[in-house]
Amino acid sequence: MKDYQIYLLDLDGVVYRGDHLLPGAREFVAWLEATGKTYRYISNNSMQSPTDVAERLRRLGMPAPDERVVTASQAAVDHLAKEQPGQRVWVVGLPPLRRMAARAGLRVLNLARSDAPDDPAAGPETARTVLVGLHRSVTYEDLRLATRAVLAGATLLGVNRDPQLPVEDGVDPGCGAILAALEVASRAHASIIGKPAPTILTDTLDALHADRSRAVMIGDALEMDIAAGHAAGIDTILVLSGLTSPERAAAADPRPTLVLRDLADVLAQAKAGAE
Ligand SMILES: [Mg+2]
C-alpha cells in the first residue's frame, strides 16, 4: 500500500469495540508514533470534548495525547470560530458543548441554560447560528427557541446527523433525531460537520497543512467513514473489524481504496509499503 504520511482513524469498530481494543490497534499506533507519521483519532461524538475521548483511549491502553483527538463537537465550534470569530450562537446541547463553544471564542447566548437566554435582551432571534448536538434532556422549549432563531435568519448547523446512539442496553435517539425535529419545524436544511460530511476531515487536514494525496481515512462504516473520506478527496481504507461484512464491502459504491481485515492487517501493509 501507498506510504501515507497522515492517518485519520475512526474509533468504534477500528480501534476498539466496547471496552476491548481491536487486533493491532496498539501496535499500529505505536508504529505511527515510532515512524513519525501524523495521525488523528476522529470521533463523531457530539457531547464530548477531545480530552474526554483521549481519557477513554488511555484507559484502554492506547497512546492518546489530547491533541491527537478530533471530536465532531470540537470541530463544529472551531469551524464556527474560524468562519466568524465571536459570532452569536444559540446551542441546543448539553453543558459540555455549550462550554466548548464559549472556550472556542463564540458568543454563546444560552451558556447557563439550554432553554433560556442568559440575557433576556439577547434572545435566540439575535443568533447567527443554531448549533445542535445530542441533548439528552431536550425539551419542547429548547426546540421552540431554536426554531425561532432559525426562522429569524440563523443558520442551522448539526454536529452530526447520526439517527441513533448505541448504548449499553440498546439504541437511543441520536443528534440527528433532534436535528430532524428542528429541520421540520423551521423548514431549513442543516449543514453538518461530522461524518459522513467531509468537513470534519477537511478542517482537520487544513489545520495540519496536509498534502491530501498522502492522507488516508481508516474506518469500518461505508456510509460514514468511507463516504466522508471520498467526499474529502482522500484515500480510504475499510477495515472489516466493525460494521461491514466482506460481502457488503465487495459491493461498495464508492469503493474504498483498500479493504483490509483490521489494524493488524493495515500495519503489515503499511510496513511493507514504507520499505
Ligand atoms: Mg466506526
CA of 144 relative to ligand 1 center, distance in Å? 33
pLDDT of residue 46: 82
Q: Is the pLDDT of residue 11 over 80?
A: yes
Sign, CA dihedral 169-171-173-175, equals positive
Cα–Cα distance measured from residue 2 to residue 250, given in angstroms and rounded to the nearest whole number: 21
Q: Which residues share a beta bridge with 158?
A: 132, 192
C-alpha grid cell for residue 48?
A: 464530548
What local confidence, expressed as pLDDT, does residue 273 receive? 81
Domain limits, the chain: 6-44+196-274, 73-192
Q: What confidence score (pLDDT) does residue 48 get?
A: 86
Are the beta carbons of 46 and 172 closer than 8 angstroms? Answer: no
CB–CB of 57/40 below 8 Å?
no
What is the Å distance from ligand 1's center to 10 Cα? 5
**pLDDT, position 168:** 83
Whose cell is 498522502? That residue is 214
Average pLDDT over residues 213-228: 97
Cell of 178: 433532534
Could you tell me the pLDDT band of residue 98, with boundaries at 50, 70 and 90?
very high
Type of residue found at 150 = V
Give 151 Cα–ligand 1 centroid separation in angstroms.
Answer: 35
Q: Which amino acid is at 199?
A: T
- In the reported structure, the alpha carbon of residue 59 is separated from the centroid of ligand 1 by a whole-number distance in angstroms of 19
CA 244–ligand 1 middle distance (angstroms)? 10
Architecture of domain 73-192: 3-Layer(aba) Sandwich (3.40)
Pairing type for strands 164-167 and 155-158 reads unpaired
C-alpha 10/C-alpha 83 separation (Å) is 26
Please report the sign of the dihedral spanned by the C-alpha atoms of residue 212, residue 213, residue 215, residue 218: positive
Q: Is the pLDDT of residue 211 over 80?
A: yes
CATH code reported for the domain at 6-44+196-274: 3.40.50.1000
Q: What is the DSSP string of 93-119?
A: S-HHHHHHHHHTT-EETTSSBTTB-SS
pLDDT surpassing 80 at residue 234: yes
Q: Which tens digit of pLDDT belongs to each residue from 137-173?
A: 999 999 999 999 999 999 999 999 999 998 889 999 9
Q: What is the pLDDT of residue 274?
A: 72
Residues carrying an active site annotation: 10, 12
